[in-house]
Structure 1
Amino acid sequence: MRWENRRRSDNIEDRRGGGLLRGGGMRRIPGIRIPSGGSAGGARRAGGGSIFLIIVIAVGLWAFAGINPLQLLDMLARQDGSVVVGSPSTSTPTQQAGNDSQSAFVGVVLAETEDTWGRIFQANGGTYTEPRLVLYDGSVQSACGLSSAATGPFYCPNDRKVYLDLSFFGLMSQRLGAPGDFAQAYVIAHEIGHHVQNLTGVLGRYHQARQSMSEAAANRESIKVELQADCYAGIWAHAADDIGILEEGDIQEALNAASAVGDDMLQRRQQGYVVPESFNHGTSAQRARWFETGYRSGNPADCDTFSPATL
């Protein structure tokens, strides 16, 4: 992805490294947790504080992709007892928060989503309210609660913010086989898709309806929500391609990432078999198909995952 020297969003709060803030500082806005630039820091040994971080990343992946964090620990462990929680990077953990290549990449991707959805909302007679994106490590307080053990990407509709621990990208690259900057961009665009759903009322209707649903019914509805966010990520990719910032292989990176976090792929990797009735994010084929649908169409109207015939 050709992201260098492009506009960076001002809607970034960098709470890494003890709470350094950017883009207007930390603001608490009244108001649910629902799933790359640059790369995360290097590998760490599984000991002391690293064990906590591993567990945190595991829970974060559950929030994004429906992975059982206890099962995920088995995926992370190496035969020599170490665990990878980052990906190769030219940056180091000692860089000043907010000025590293990772946050720069995230800022550019966020800015591009702002431009894309701003145009789409305007063309349909609406106004796009831009979300804020919080970079953090270890733990974070959101309007959806304290997420000391829920790192990784999630969207909180109560404060209209995306929360991201960049270590998640290392996990995707090294453990799930989904490397590449556009795989990471897909994750961000997916979370922004949840913000679009929040603005259009989809999330509100879903969370209200699920209160009276059985677990099986709620899982089915959750899949529709997640697949629509995948389709919306494809809508953004379509716009990014139109302005010429995609490179050869970028779309394949996103498709690989979407497939890697499919319920069936993750369950097969974790336990050797799948339990379809427990799916709540969609299969690998569904997630990749809906991302590609959005990418090829560029029209949000084609992201109707709630019609039974479309799944």
Structure 2
Amino acid sequence: MKGWLAWGEIVPAGETITRNRINYVNFNQLRSFYAVARELSFTKAAELLCIGQPTVTTQVKALEETYNLQLFVRGPSDLTLTDAGEALLTVARQIFSLEERAHSLLNTVGNQFAGRLHIGTVGPFFVMKQLSKYIDRYPLMHVTVESANSDSIYQKLLNYEVDVGIIGSDYSDPRLDLVCLGKHEVVIAVPVSHPWAHRSQVNIEELDGQRLIMREKGSMTRRALEEVLAANSIRPNVVMELPRDSVLEATAAGLGLGIISNFEFSRDQRLRTLSIARYSPCTRSFAACLKERRTLPSIDAFMKMSSELVAQSLDADCSNNKS
């Protein structure tokens, strides 16, 4: 007989049985590898998995020994993936994405979802309306939010580190499913004591040589302004590069002119904002997820909700224009 043995079947002496063998990887070892590869830290991986660090170390070492491969280069103060480790991480992401899909399916109760949704956003302003509606509709979901610039959130999406991203570019990436949330003008913030504070606009030429407080690299707000400056051969004096919230504080302290999206600017008695005449550099915001993960009910629901809110906003604008 060829193939699988029936239960209790005895193989005659001298007879060879050909099996359709199923290869497998120890799942606990692979999970530990995946956690360490994501965090590039055995300590953080142990915290993520809620197990002891020695267990994580033992499991990763056993995986390496089983296949006679080095998956990590262990330096005195850091940890990096080898080429084999990078290749395995790509496969592990797909495996644990499917496991997450199964987990989401099993935790679906009627039309309710129970589980976690991790959102990365370029700023809290862009996501709060969606979050409010999402939590009201799906109270069993636990939502976490982290803020960073667009490039960082984009990479976290690709690495499965966030489920949904609110980003400032579509990155021309066919792997992404996108909902355009809106268009936002980039403006100049000045202290109320500044000579320009009574104005509503500033000419692009006036920014030449001015002390500017820029957003950090990877920010779409910064990129939009830099394109306009370069096109007009304007060279400001960039004195600081800061995250969004710090830009406003540094501007209020008189350290320079701040660069920010008008959508992000909340009323601040210490500051005034000016448009850039004739150019009005703009950014766009998008809700984004990986297309391969859109089938997860929790992610799909957030994306659909984002589309609904955009449609409602457009309807409201049309009504206001008619009146």
Q: TM-score with structure 2 length normalisation? A: 0.21
| Higher-strand-fraction structure | 2
Of Structure 1 and Structure 2, which has the larger fraction of its residues in helix? Answer: 1
**Structure with greater contact order relative to length (CA < 8 Å, sep ≥ 6):** 1
